[in-house]
Structure 1
Amino acid sequence: MHLEMRDSYMPDDPEFIAWEQGKRLDQTDRESWWRSWLDVVAEATGRGVAMRRLRVVSEPVTDYIRYEYAVTFPNVTAGEDVRWLPRSRTGDLLLPGLDGWVMDDEVVILHHFTGNGQWAEAGMEVRTDPDLAQRYLAAYEVAWERATPHADYRPA
């Protein structure tokens, strides 16, 4: 399970900049957008592993979130289940302070970003901590149930 709660990531990402300048992925040209991460997703989901990504977003969405929305179809094609949750619907939820992955019942990968969305010096932090994993899972599950599947979400 991957939890993303920022409204902007890596604003200097060349792919984001190209998108801002009008580049769009051609859904019919799979070779142009398939990448190695999608092989990992397809292999894992092919073995029956559920891969879920939850994006908590402010509305109206930022240009970066519009970009993420536009380039999410490859993740879905590979087998990832993606949902979107407007931040305005989270007021009664207790969500973690950091984005990250819950890998299993023990391992959590925390992502550290600066205020403008760049990787912080700490970058990714891997923790083996069953209590932390359970807290992330509990928060994630409540938010997941409230979120809108990618196919049904339209960025405001």
Structure 2
Amino acid sequence: MESISAEQLGKLLWTGTSSILKLELRDRYAFDDDLFDAWRRGDQAAVDGFLGGWRDRMASEAAAGRRIRRIRVVSEPLSDYQRMLVDTSGPSVDAGEELRWLPRRLVSALPLPGNDCFVLDDCVMFNVIGGNDEPVDIQLSREPGVMKFCRDSFESAWEIATPHREFEPA
């Protein structure tokens, strides 16, 4: 696997692929700290400001016919951080992102990648996150076996995950 920059990830993500599969395995991400703080304060204007760009991107991608599916594996009971994710995900779902929630207790026997990943038409990108919840590396693989493993893992998880509008947090 090769390491790539965030800029390279963005270019691969938003050009030339018909669909995006996103698998999130972590309970927390430090890069969302400002959003989390705004949510805890009840500052809806700030929350909307943080998420407006993503919502608009989802609407644009859906209008272009691209399918974007995301699974968030979550621990139960949900932490405040995870509750924030549930509370703030509706606008992107309304805009066209397909989001499902998967309680960690249901994935014990599922083969899953060791890191969060994006599965595209012709590659897989792994987000490697450190113990401090900060990004450490972005890895790219075009190896067919890795791509098949990640796609199959995503589809297996998708089958048992709960759609966002039906998810009732524990």
TM-score normalised according to structure 1 size: 0.85
What does residue 63 of structure 1 align with?
80
CA offset digits 1:110-135 (Å, max 9, x no partner): 10111231112x2x223322321111
Give the one of 109, 127, 148 matched to 2:141.
Answer: 127
- Judged with a 3 Å threshold, the aligned counterparts in structure 2 of structure 1 residues 68 and 12 are, in CA distance, closer, same or farther, namely closer
Q: Is the 8 A contact 1:41 1:80 kept in 2?
A: yes
After TM superposition, list the pairs within 5 Å mapping 1:1-156 onto structure 2: 1-10=21-30, 13-24=33-44, 32=49, 35-104=52-121, 106-120=122-136, 122=137, 124-156=138-170
How many pairs were matched up?
150
SS in 2 for 1:13: helix
How far apart are 1:56 and its partner, in Å? 0.6
Query: For 1:137 and 1:43, how far apart are their aligned partners in 2?
Result: 24
Query: For 1:94 and 1:11, how far apart are their aligned partners in 2?
Result: 27
Q: Is the 8 A contact 1:10 1:117 kept in 2?
A: yes
How far apart are 1:87 and its partner, in Å? 0.6
What does residue 15 of structure 2 align with?
none
Structure number with the higher helix fraction is 2
Q: Identity rate of aligned residues, in percent? A: 38
How far apart are 1:75 and its partner, in Å? 1.3
Cα RMSD of the aligned pairs, angstroms, is: 2.2
TM-score normalised according to structure 2 size: 0.79
SS in 1 for 2:145: helix
SS in 2 for 1:91: coil
SS in 2 for 1:8: coil
- Judged with a 3 Å threshold, the aligned counterparts in structure 2 of structure 1 residues 15 and 34 are, in CA distance, closer, same or farther, namely closer
- Judged with a 3 Å threshold, the aligned counterparts in structure 2 of structure 1 residues 25 and 74 are, in CA distance, closer, same or farther, namely farther
How far apart are 1:44 and its partner, in Å? 2.0
